[in-house]
Structure 1
Amino acid sequence: MASSTGSERGTLAVTGDPASDQLVRDDPFSLLLAMMLDQQIPMEKAFKGPAVLAERLGDRYSAASIAEMDPDELEAAFKEKPALHRFPGSMAKRCGQLARYIVENYDGDAGAVWADVRSGKALYDRLRALPGYGDEKAKIFVAILAKRFGVAPRGWKAAAGPFADGHPRSVADIDGPDALAEVRIWKKNQKAAGKSKQD
């Protein structure tokens, strides 16, 4: 079973909005969705996305309900101004795919993706299989679970790669405004140096 890293459980705080951060900490589907949205838009907007979508969908905000939703209706919710993402149409489609995958493979329980995981490699493989999750996103999510939620199965550091270290470089290292600023500085410096996130 996963062991604790010593981090206080649920210390992820990205958006600056307490309610949005709380939803992502409390609801595994929201956490997965926020990470999926985290590309080509600011991290704060991505991690606030689940709260905005939840407000727009009301009691239909769940993996099970979204999985059954008409794709056009879900896309309309993403495109409602202000749009949830820079590419709301494609992200609405991925959201639907993610919800259906969770329903089909985990009975609608997103937390089951990591609840009984035995190793970092197994966790990475489960995450990598999710719609919208590439190699880097899966590695960062492994680091998020370990650093912010105490879900640290054997070998998680190897699975998370460069995102396992203590240097603030990804959303996994953000527990408030100061850490967010540090991560932004690191990313800016990496971009200026012409390096990838994994260099």
Structure 2
Amino acid sequence: MPQLRIAQDERADELLGRDPLALLIGMLLDQQFPMERAFAAPRLLADRLGVDTLSAAALAECDPEVLQRHFQGPPALHRYPGSMAGRAQELARLLVERHDGRAEALWTDVPDGATLLRRLGDLPGFGAQKAKIFLALLGKQYGVTPPGWREAAGDYGQEGSRRSVADITGPESLAEVRATKQAAKKAAKKAAKDAKAVQQA
């Protein structure tokens, strides 16, 4: 079983390591919200549902209002608990419809990285970038390494990179990833400012 240290919380990380659906939901919530809190959220959700492992079938069938209350907390599982509860339920329903309710079915029989990337990109709430990051996380830390996975994950698949959650193995690498993200944001802001100045000149 993978020994993950993404949430920086022993119980939360233990669930991520043994429950592929928990990992998938953590990735879904990793948006406009602190990374470690997003990946700790599946443990909180499991506790509130009174279960040891999350079930796509149970989430798919859950009363949307009840699920929303679980997401609202306190503490809330996301900055936008209502919309994220809806998205998590959409994700669970898709897994039930297409993959027998098993998150790991997304990758167990996959022939190559490009196919896996396509499957991940079809998931609710998974855009192109999120799909690549999750693919890199599967390859680097979950033992899912179909042919061409690094190429499919793009820059996130590079060995030794510190770009995303795929590279977090403890507090030190979390700080490095955070610093890389902040530097990228700063550079993007500067580029936008420079472009605006050119337009106005």
CA distance in 2, matches of 1:96, 1:180: 29
1:61 Cα offset (Å):
3.7
CA distance in 2, matches of 1:172, 1:61: 22
Q: Which of 175, 180, 194 matches 2:188?
A: 194
Instruction: Give the match for residue 161 of structure 2.
Output: 167
- How many residue pairs get matched? 187
Q: Which of 15, 28, 38 matches 2:30?
A: 38
CA distance in 1, matches of 2:164, 2:57: 29
Q: TM-score, normalised by structure 2?
A: 0.90
Cα RMSD, aligned residues only: 1.3
| Contact in 2 for aligned 1:98/1:130 (Cα 8 Å) | yes
Q: Does 1:143 align with 2:136?
A: yes
| Contact in 1 for aligned 2:19/2:54 (Cα 8 Å) | no
| Contact in 1 for aligned 2:21/2:104 (Cα 8 Å) | yes
SS at match of 1:194: helix
- Residues 140-163 of structure 1, C-alpha deviation per residue, up to 9 Å, x if partnerless? 011001100121111111210110
The structure number with the bigger radius of gyration is 2
| Contact in 2 for aligned 1:120/1:158 (Cα 8 Å) | yes
Instruction: Give the match for residue 134 of structure 1.
Output: 127
Q: Does 1:122 align with 2:126?
A: no
- Residues 71-93 of structure 1, C-alpha deviation per residue, up to 9 Å, x if partnerless? 11111110121111000000000
Q: Does 1:184 align with 2:178?
A: yes
Q: Which one is further off, 144-153 or 11-20?
A: 11-20
| Contact in 2 for aligned 1:144/1:171 (Cα 8 Å) | yes
1:35 Cα offset (Å):
0.2
Q: Which of 69, 78, 93 matches 1:76?
A: 69
- Residues 1-29 of structure 1, C-alpha deviation per residue, up to 9 Å, x if partnerless? xxxxxxxx624311211110010111010
CA distance in 2, matches of 1:11, 1:136: 24
Instruction: Between the two structures, name the one with larger relative contact order (CA 8 Å, sep ≥ 6).
Output: 1
Name structure 2 gaps, 5 residues minimum: 190-201
| Contact in 2 for aligned 1:12/1:172 (Cα 8 Å) | no
- Residues 48-86 of structure 1, C-alpha deviation per residue, up to 9 Å, x if partnerless? 010000011113941110100111111111012111100
| Contact in 1 for aligned 2:94/2:123 (Cα 8 Å) | yes
SS at match of 2:107: helix
Instruction: Give the match for residue 97 of structure 2.
Output: 104
Superposed structure 1 runs of 4+ greater than 4 Å apart? none
Name structure 1 gaps, 5 residues minimum: 1-8
Indicate the percent of aligned positions where both proteins have the same amino acid.
52
Instruction: Give the match for residue 196 of structure 2.
Output: none
Q: Which protein has the bigger helix share?
A: 2
